[in-house]
Amino acid sequence: MRVKVSPLVEYPFTPAWWLPGPHLQTVWGRLVRPRRLVTMRREVLETPDGDELVLDHVDGEAGSPRALLLHGLEGSSNSVYVQGFLSAIARRRWRATAMNFRSCARDPGDLSRMLPNRRPRLYHSGETSDFGFVARTLSQREPEARLVAIGASLGGNVLLKWLGENPLQRTIAAAAALSTPYDLGASGRHLENLAGRLYVGHFLSTLKGKAVEVSRRFSEAGAKIDGPRALASRSFWEFDDAANAPLHGFAGADDYYARASSLGYLSRIATPTLCLSAEDDPFLPAPALARARAAASPAIDFRVTRHGGHIGWVAGPWPWRPSYWAEEFVLDWLARH
């Protein structure tokens, strides 16, 4: 397949004047948006390896398209951007399913509590078998319905990697990936600065607890994880090298990043796919974004805005009247495909 090389064009997006800069765009929604915008119907799906995947469904018109959503690192179906998408999908009378990665589902009665899984593993940026299993399950249940997929951040990496691994698939009709960390190693290094460490520290606060818990519950996991190093980690590389990579069968953090990054799979994607990123995304350096654009197959519509932060894209005239541009843009794009 011929690799498409196109200029890194600026796609028009006008950020809210009252949220200047990438960091305010990134954190605004997480601070002010509600985490219960829609009514969800929960399903616990048994996996082929004897674990559980928690799916949260939003019902719509019979026969309408269904969107399968993948959240980002340490997110869930209650993440504000997932709820935003679910709300926008419900307004269109489509149906939706938000897949919670293993160990990420929240207790409906206490969103601060994550539900444990039953196997000695968690989830990671390159683990695509759970997504494939859920996509096939939904497609088999509703063979006449159009199934589209939306992945944000880590979820975008999982989605793009799966599409590249399965270029002949016909389960997903169209896909969209937002704020994807295409090159995990470059993304991790980019976050090793003062501002980046604030983001990383937030994620590590729960990732460390999960590593301790899975080590305590499963002796085979405890034998793989270097607990003291994991607890002392201050960067993604340090945590991944001590816990995430060995737990999931990688030789170390560098091996994990090389094999799990979606960058190496973009050229194989044959499904109509939107890749949407902001040039000022604090989670990914511009050179890595340019490499991803250069590697994208002709099936990928690669869009870059100058502003927007990480899963931000907040617009609107006033703080009490915000709008979330990317959610409507993505759904309009998927409706056309």
- Closest listed residue to residue 262, CA positions, set 151, 172, 170: 151
β-pair partners for 150: 69, 176
Q: Rounded to whole angstroms, how far apart are CA atoms 282 and 179?
A: 10
Q: Find where tokens 């969103």 sit.
A: 111
Q: Rounded to whole angstroms, how far apart are CA atoms 188 and 12?
A: 28
CA of 287: how far to CAs of 45, 161, 239, in Å? Answer: 40, 20, 24
Active site residue ranges = 153, 281, 310
Q: Rounded to whole angstroms, how far apart are CA atoms 207 and 202?
A: 9
Helices (H), ranges, 277-324 = 286-295
Q: Find where tokens 């290094």 sit.
A: 189
Q: What are phi and psi of 2, to 5 degrees?
A: -70, 135
Other beta carbons within 10 Å of 112: 6
Answer yes or no: are the C-beta atoms of 156 and 85 closer than 8 Å: no
β-pair partners for 149: 68, 175
Q: Rounded to whole angstroms, how far apart are CA atoms 147 and 51?
A: 24
- Closest listed residue to residue 221, CA positions, set 118, 152, 92: 118
Residue 219 three-state SS: helix
Give residue 330's pLDDT.
98
Domain ranges of the chain: 10-183+263-336, 188-260
Please give the chain's pLDDT, 337 residues, in tens: 333 434 455 678 999 999 999 999 999 999 999 999 999 999 999 999 999 999 999 999 999 999 999 999 999 999 999 999 999 999 999 999 999 999 999 998 888 888 888 999 999 999 999 999 999 999 999 999 999 999 999 999 999 999 999 999 999 999 999 999 999 999 999 999 888 999 999 999 999 999 999 999 999 999 999 999 999 999 999 999 999 999 999 999 999 999 999 999 999 999 999 999 999 999 999 999 999 999 999 999 999 999 999 999 999 999 999 999 999 999 999 999 9
Q: Find where tokens 């953090």 sit.
A: 253
* CATH of 10-183+263-336 given 3.20.20.70, 3.40.50.1820, 3.50.50.60, 3.40.640.10: 3.40.50.1820
Q: Residues near 169 by Cβ (< 8 Å), separated by ≥ 6?
A: 163, 271
Q: Rounded to whole angstroms, how far apart are CA atoms 301 and 299?
A: 7
Q: What is the largest CA-CA distance in the chain?
A: 55
Q: Rounded to whole angstroms, how far apart are CA atoms 107 and 159?
A: 25
Answer yes or no: are the C-beta atoms of 123 and 130 closer than 8 Å: yes
Other beta carbons within 10 Å of 161: 28
H or E segment to which residue 99 belongs: strand 95-100
Give residue 8's pLDDT.
52
